[in-house]
Amino acid sequence: MAKFRRIGVLTSGGDAPGMNAAVRAVVRTGLAHGIEVYAIMEGYKGLVENNMRLIKNPSEVSNIIGQSGTAIYTERCPEFATEEGMAAAIKTCRENQIDGIIAIGGDGTFRGATDIASRGIPTIGVPGTIDNDIAATDYTIGLDTACNTVVTFVDSLRATCESHARCNVVEVMGRHAGHIALRTAVATGAVAVAVAEFDFDEDEVIKNIIEKRKAGKRGFVVIVSEGIPGYAEKLTKIIEQKTGIVTRFCCPAHVQRGGIPTLEDRLTASEMGEYAVKQLLDGKSDVVICKNGGKLCTVDISRALKVDRMLKGKLTAEEEAALTPEEREYMTARCAEVRANMKALYDLVYEIR
Ligand code: F6P
């Protein structure tokens, strides 16, 4: 087991409910192993600017498990991506004798983690993003809370929607993946869902709304992912024009990121935080913690980022050609699995609408 005296923990990118539970787990696991833990403030910016707090006592993270947001703050730090920023970050680690880092966030956070690891400081990524857009893992911290926030939001809309016999088009987050849209469309009984991953048959949806109205249905909810930029507002106008039903656009926006973390998020974050520290102590670096089929495991960050790009159709021809047969097999199978899971939810919306 590698000898660690001090590790740092940071949260980076968009905040996600449950990040605090992960921070708490990292701090407490580290302290329990006799390791000092630095809370690096505002993500990678804290490393660049040497802004951190040494946590000496487990009580310093008491009660954050149930809080939304991130108690150690977050930033999207462009400076960190520059050579100067990276040099400053490494200097901070050396000066503060930090010999390992746990970085909680999304794909941008993992790219940063790889950069640090390649400069000799073992770094482990923990997936924290409401979007669930890390293809190597079934689950990212924050997804469940964000979805529950959307469900509560749409349940409230339903009441007024029914009273007025209207349609509501709701745009939900997920810049690069439609997981929130798909899950919440099923859970709110939406009449339709539109995500970037699958074709959307606008004419068929409108026909269905007209038929249902004729059959006596008063209120309609349509969920659209922000992964199709601008489409939710456009669709609102189209539905109103073509069905004659008063249609309103609604968007819970950043409220989706601010819910009180659900049990699922607290649990997964606690498991992943503890596991991440143990993996670091076992000598692992440059990996992301994943939870697949209910089991924790690690995946190399470069592989996790590549499988993401493959899923989004963004893998370059050179990257594709450089894949080993084993990598290709893993990545193809993983992409097929993620797509199939999403497609099952998509189909379910239309089966039971
Ligand atoms: O954290 C992910 C996410 O919430 C996306 O779903 C959304 O597109 C984006 O962040 C919003 O980013 P910002 O906080 O910079 O507005």
- In this predicted structure, what is the pLDDT of residue 76? 87
Cα distance between residue 137 and residue 127, in whole Å: 8
Residue ranges, the chain, pLDDT below 50 = none
Confidence (pTM)? 0.96
State which ligand 1 atom lies nearest to the alpha carbon of 256.
Answer: 4
Any ligand 1 atom below 6 A from CB of 74 = no
To the question of domain 6-142+261-300 being in CATH 3.40.630.10, the answer is no
- In this predicted structure, what is the pLDDT of residue 44? 96
Cα(134) to centroid(ligand 1), Å = 14
- Angle of helix 179-188 relative to helix 143-164, nearest 10 degrees, comes to 50
The answer for residues whose C-beta is within 8 angstroms of residue 299's C-beta and 6 or more apart is 136, 137, 287, 288, 290
Any ligand 1 atom below 6 A from CB of 257 = yes
Any ligand 1 atom below 6 A from CB of 129 = yes
Architecture of domain 144-258+341-351: 3-Layer(aba) Sandwich (3.40)
Cα(300) to centroid(ligand 1), Å = 25
- In this predicted structure, what is the pLDDT of residue 64? 98
- In this predicted structure, what is the pLDDT of residue 77? 86
- Say if residues 19 and 27 touch (Cβ distance below 8 Å): no
Any ligand 1 atom below 6 A from CB of 175 = yes
- In this predicted structure, what is the pLDDT of residue 2? 61
- In this predicted structure, what is the pLDDT of residue 3? 82
Which residue puts its alpha carbon closest to atom 15 of ligand 1?
A: 14
List the chain domain ranges. Answer: 6-142+261-300, 144-258+341-351
Is 131 part of the annotated catalytic residue set?
A: yes
Taking CA atoms, 229 is separated from 14, 57, 232, in Å, by: 19, 46, 8
